[in-house]
Structure formats: C-alpha cells, structure tokens
C-alpha cells in the first residue's frame, strides 16, 4: 500500500529523532519547540481528534497493522519512523507498549485565556505530586466545564507520560498554564474571583458552599495540603463529608467531586439557606 511507503526504517538507538523521543519521555517536559511525547493508540487518536500538530510518529515493527489505520490521518509533512521492537521498547515509558508513539505540539495558553469566559471556574494545583491524581484532575476539569488549570511549583509536570495517560486526552484540550503561587492568586482575587481551598475535614460541606461565579478551586499536596502562604489568601475551605473511619479521598477524587458540584450549581444555581431567616422561622 502507498501509505506504508511513508514508513522510514531506523534501527539505531542513536538516531537523533529516537534520542529526542527518549529524552521527551524521560524528562516529562516539552522540548524546545514545545513538543511532548505521547504513546498508545487511544492517546494518538485523541491527539488527532483534538487537532494537535504531529511532528514525528514512531511505530514498532510488530505494530505495522495498526499503522495502516493511523497513517492516512497524518499530514504529508509528518515524519513517520519504523523501529525494531527492542529499540521502540527502549524509548517509551510503558512496560507493555502498543507500538505507536509520537512527538506532538501542544497549544500554548496564557492566564488571560482562562479568564476570557465570564465567571470562570479555574482549578489550581499547588503541590499535587502523584501523576495519576493530576491526570484525573485534568480529565475532571474538562468534563465539568473548568476554564483551565493553573500548575504551581512542586506539582508534577502535566506533561509527564503518566499524567498524559491518566488525563485520557483532556490535556490536549484543557488550557494548562504554569503559575507562580501565591502571586497569581492575588491577581485573581483582584479580578473578583473567589479562592476556595479543598480540605479533607475542615470548612463548609461542598454541597452547601457557593461554587457559582468566578471561582478558583485550590488542590494541595496529597499529604501536606496547601502551603500556609496560600491558605492565608483563600476566601474559604470546602470539605467532602464521608463516613467516619474512612481514609481521606485522594486529591484526584476530591477535586472531581468539587468540580462536579460546581458544574451542577452552574447548571441550576443552588439557593443556599439564609441562616437568619431559617432561625426566625423556627422561633415563630
């Protein structure tokens, strides 16, 4: 087939593109041109669906049948390489790869992009270290209508291969912006946004909190929570009530619940109780 003619066989582990792919997977950070490394059929297809620009695509020899389905979806200027299985295995991040990987260029976003929508819902990760948690947060942020994610120092890179996989393609579409906390939070407060910290046991129950309007939901470190300098800035804390004796929810689960509740309130704003009116009614 003509499509297979695009496959350029490369057997050396020292090939410059092979070395660049290996470095991108190892570093978990964008290359100088903004490219990140991704792998697996599903992730590649999500990147295509999301309109990302592919720079180079790599297939393992044993994955040639998959190549036939994917090759027509890459533009003519994309370099396509075919690697021996052992070379491909030495490059990618997973132990049981599906035989396809790529270098793709993500869209670059700025803080103003997150503030473009009226009354935005923004997620801020300050010290989230588990890649699975951050990937879940990104996936939930897209699912529940967040404007984007702010990533502060101490948080695992959103381009880490495990984060990319856990985000299930949402990383390709959700605006992600690096941020310097707490300075950026002060700027957001000046723009009228509420800063709400998630907590395992302190603060107002999430279903009683007002999550409408412009809101920044802050997610802290899995063990230590949010730093004190950030906690001094927040307007309040929200917690997720759960059965006694049950260990606290992890950061990904907690963020997902808070984001769902925010989405629910924004679809049909919750009329919160007026405590004084309620007490007056009881006294009558």
Lowest mean pLDDT among 25-29, 205-209, 261-265, 268-272: 268-272
pLDDT band at 274 (very low <50, low <70, confident <90, very high): very low
Residues 225 and 135 in one domain: yes
74-125 residue pLDDT tens: 999 999 999 999 999 999 988 888 999 999 999 999 999 999 988 999 999 9
In a domain, 277, yes or no: no
CB < 8 Å & 24+ apart, contacts of 167-170: 167/135, 167/136, 167/138, 167/139, 168/42, 168/46, 168/135, 168/139, 169/42, 169/43, 169/46, 169/47, 169/49, 169/50, 170/138, 170/139, 170/141, 170/142, 170/143
| Per-chain mean pLDDT for the chain | 89
Residues 127 and 245 in one domain: yes
Give me the pLDDT at residue 176, please. 97
In a domain, 279, yes or no: no
Q: CA-CA distances (angstroms) from residue 154 to 117, 122, 126, 135?
A: 28, 19, 7, 15
In a domain, 284, yes or no: no
In a domain, 283, yes or no: no
Residues 161 and 237 in one domain: yes
224-238 residue pLDDT tens: 889 999 999 999 999
Domain that holds residue 61: 2-105
For the chain, how many structural domains are there in total? 2
Give me the pLDDT at residue 254, please. 92
Q: For residues 32 and 30, give the distance between their C-alpha atoms in angstroms, rounded to a whole number.
A: 7
Residues 87 and 126 in one domain: no
Give me the pLDDT at residue 281, please. 43
CATH of the domain at 153: 3.40.1280.10
Q: What is the mean pLDDT of residues 5-15?
A: 90
Q: What is the mean pLDDT of residues 43-56?
A: 95
């Amino acid at each position: 087939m003509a499509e297979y003619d695009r496959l350029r066989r490369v057997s050396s582990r020292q090939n410059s593109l092979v070395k660049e792919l290996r470095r991108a997977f190892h570093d978990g950070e964008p290359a100088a041109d903004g490219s990140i490394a991704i792998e697996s059929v599903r992730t590649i297809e999500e990147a295509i669906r999301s309109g990302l620009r592919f720079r180079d695509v790599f297939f393992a020899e044993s994955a040639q049948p998959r190549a036939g389905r994917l090759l027509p979806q890459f533009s003519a200027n994309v370099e396509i390489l075919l690697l021996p299985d052992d070379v491909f295995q030495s490059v990618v991040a997973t132990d049981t790869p599906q035989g396809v990987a790529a270098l793709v260029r993500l869209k670059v976003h700025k803080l103003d992009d997150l503030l473009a929508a009226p009354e935005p819902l923004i997620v801020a990760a300050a010290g989230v270290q588990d890649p699975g948690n951050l990937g879940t947060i990104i996936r939930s942020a897209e699912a529940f209508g967040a404007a984007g994610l702010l990533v502060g120092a101490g948080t695992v890179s959103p381009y880490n291969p495990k984060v990319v996989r856990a985000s299930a393609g949402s990383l390709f579409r959700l605006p992600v912006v690096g941020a310097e906390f707490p300075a950026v939070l002060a700027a957001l407060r000046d723009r009228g946004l509420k800063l709400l910290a998630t907590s395992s046991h302190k603060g107002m129950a999430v279903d009683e909190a007002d999550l409408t309007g412009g809101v920044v939901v802050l997610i802290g470190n899995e063990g230590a929570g949010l730093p004190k300098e950030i906690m001094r800035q927040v307007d309040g804390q929200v917690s997720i009530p759960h059965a006694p004796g049950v260990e606290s929810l992890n950061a990904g689960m907690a963020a997902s619940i808070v984001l769902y509740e925010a989405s629910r309130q924004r679809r049909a704003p919750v009329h919160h109780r007026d405590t004084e009116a309620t007490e007056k009614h009881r006294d009558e």
